[in-house]
Amino acid sequence: MPKHDTPLLDQLESGPWPSFVSDLKRMAKKKDECWDILGQLELSYKDKITHWKHGGIVGVFGYGGGIVGRYSDVPDRFPGVAHFHTVRVNQPSSKFYSSKILRQICDLWEKRGSGMTNFHGSTGDLVLLGTTTPQLEPIFYDLTHDIGVDLGGSGGNLRTPSCCVGRARCEWGCYDTQAACHNITMTYQDELHRPAFPYKFKIKFSGCPNDCVASIARSDCSVIGTWKDDIRIDQKAVAGYIKGDFAPNAGAHSGRDWGKFDIQKEVIALCPTGCMKMAGDTLKIDNANCTRCMHCINVMPRALRPGKVQGASILIGAKAPILDGAQFATLIFPFIEMSTENEFPELKAIIEKCWDWWMTEGKNRERIGESIQRVGLPTFLSVMGVEPIPQHVREPRSNPYVFWKDEEVEGGFARTVKEFRIKHNL
Amino acid sequence: MAKIEHKGKAYEVDEDGFLAKGMEEWDNGWVDYVKSIEGITDMTDEHQKVIDALQEYYKKNGIAPMVRILSKTTGFPLKRIYELFPSGPGKGACKMAGLPKPTGCV
């Protein structure tokens, strides 16, 4: 395939940030279909419109998802991207790799694909960008037989779950996010590979409320680590911070002079519930009034740690704007156990209850968050078998359109006008 | 649009091999052709039942049924549908039934 002139894209080779254009050009020396990727992209830059056709349904036998079909709408000019399907490969928890497996995947992709990838897609998958339909089954065969990895999810199903780095290298992980992510992925392979849901469903695992995988915004079922008992305080380390031995926020703000660390100003006064104070040289936390926002722990990681009674909160229903507006997830279960040894029975019960209900009640292409909006939070809570608690709302409703059930009202709803007219004659 | 030939008859299809004109051009020859490319060895009454259910639903409602409605009307759990149509209800059964290509975030 010939080189194309790419004056607009060439401009993106200057500047300090790693240039995807330079990368593509380097790959094009080995895989000349990359020239056509550049050529079609240049045309899109010029025309200010995409040159991919609508949709595309391709896949491998046995699965209903995992591969996103794509065709060029100018295949005669750019035959190298006439077919340009994307293969989603299920990534390891927290994306730790050995160079061996990456080499294996690269060898496979250089042989059967464009050589271009996306490390990683927003949902977490390792994304192999651009191949042709006849290559799909061979790719799948090699992935599963030689490399031992499976495809990720796409379509109306469980999408590839993902997690933060967790206890692998973070002292705040309140449960083993990697074990949970892996266990849930393996348990629900069928739901991941064969679309059976009204729409997509995502699960993300964060070890603490810092939420490094943004589960509260990007997953229908958000599992966020937390603790029930007291924050662990090392008073000696607190004194170290006050003295200036340790940099606040582990030195995250060292790029600018913010003055000497002031525990009053930077921690105590910023606590959202105002539940902290210094009593002499001792830092006190009124844990009953702590909302576990992580701020004080984030500022003084050597001195403060999450409590020992750890678990997770479950929030349901985050989604992007389409159709009826963006949503963050809503708190449904304030605290559940996350037992790795027992393979997360509480979490699985919750997930399956959500699915049982949503698979029958959810409308076509309705995210679970929208289903909850439609039927109301109280109905969803009763489906989930949860007693309403104040923690379920940020504030009580301000309108008085309150529904009552027949049995909650003395005398029920059955009335006759005749009876009413005895006292209220026309 | 490409044309494919099967046993002397031509069909107009898109890149993914879905019938461009849908059920208008659909016939038994088409079923036989899709069978040959979608990993189906023998056509059975069960295959026919799925196709009939899809076509009936599409004619009545103008869209393909949701997976669980297809399962309900045919009585086949999803597992059985994949046994019948290895590519699944969308790429396999809908293609064979002559329904339009599934769209959206697939």
Contacts of B82 in chain A (CB under 8 A): 62, 64, 194
Chain A interface, Cβ < 8 Å to B:
53-59, 61-65, 68-69, 71, 83, 154-156, 190, 194-198, 200, 359-360, 364-365
For chain B, positions 48-87, list CB contacts with chain A under 8 A.
Answer: 63, 66-68, 78-79, 82, 86-87
Q: What angle do CA A389, A394, A398 make, to 5 degrees?
A: 100
Check pLDDT > 70 for residue B106.
no
Strand-pair partners of A224: A206, A313
H or E element at residue A347: helix A345-361
**Contact call for residues B65 and B57 (beta carbons, < 8 A):** yes
**Contact call for residues B103 and A55 (beta carbons, < 8 A):** yes
Q: Could you tell me where the beta strands, DSSP code E, fall in A268-339?
A: 276-279, 282-285, 304-305, 310-316, 330-336
What are the angstrom distances between the C-alpha of A324 and each of A154, A192, A216, A393, B43?
A: 22, 25, 18, 20, 43
By DSSP bridging, strand A67-68 and strand A116-119 are: unpaired
How far apart (Å, rounded) are the C-alpha atoms in residues B58 and B63? 5
Mean pLDDT of A13-36: 95
Per residue in A323-341, pLDDT (tens digit) is 999 999 999 999 999 999 9
How far apart (Å, rounded) are the C-alpha atoms in residues A351 and A223? 11
> H helices within A198-257, ranges in order?
215-218, 235-243
Three-state DSSP class for residue B74: helix
Check pLDDT > 90 for residue B105.
no
B39, B63, B101 member nearest A55 (Cβ): B101
Mean pLDDT of A137-155: 97
ipTM entry: 0.87
Q: What angle do CA B6, B8, B11 make, to 5 degrees?
A: 50
CB pairs under 8 A between A and B: 65
Question: In this structure, what token pair is assigned to residue A290?
Answer: 């702590």
How far apart (Å, rounded) are the C-alpha atoms in residues A3 and B98? 41
Among residues A201, A223, A218, A206, the alpha carbon closest in space to that of A354 is found at A201
First to last CA, chain A: 91
Q: How far is A55 from chain B (nearest CA, A)?
A: 6
Mean pLDDT of A263-292: 97
Range from A173-187, A264-278, B22-36 carrying the lowest mean pLDDT: B22-36
Per residue in A36-78, pLDDT (tens digit) is 999 999 999 999 999 999 988 999 999 999 999 999 999 999 9
By DSSP bridging, strand A221-227 and strand A203-206 are: parallel
User: Would you say the pTM of this structure is higher than 0.90?
Assistant: yes
Per residue in A329-387, pLDDT (tens digit) is 999 999 999 999 999 999 999 999 999 999 999 999 999 999 999 999 999 999 999 99
**Contact call for residues A241 and A264 (beta carbons, < 8 A):** no
Mean pLDDT of A107-124: 97
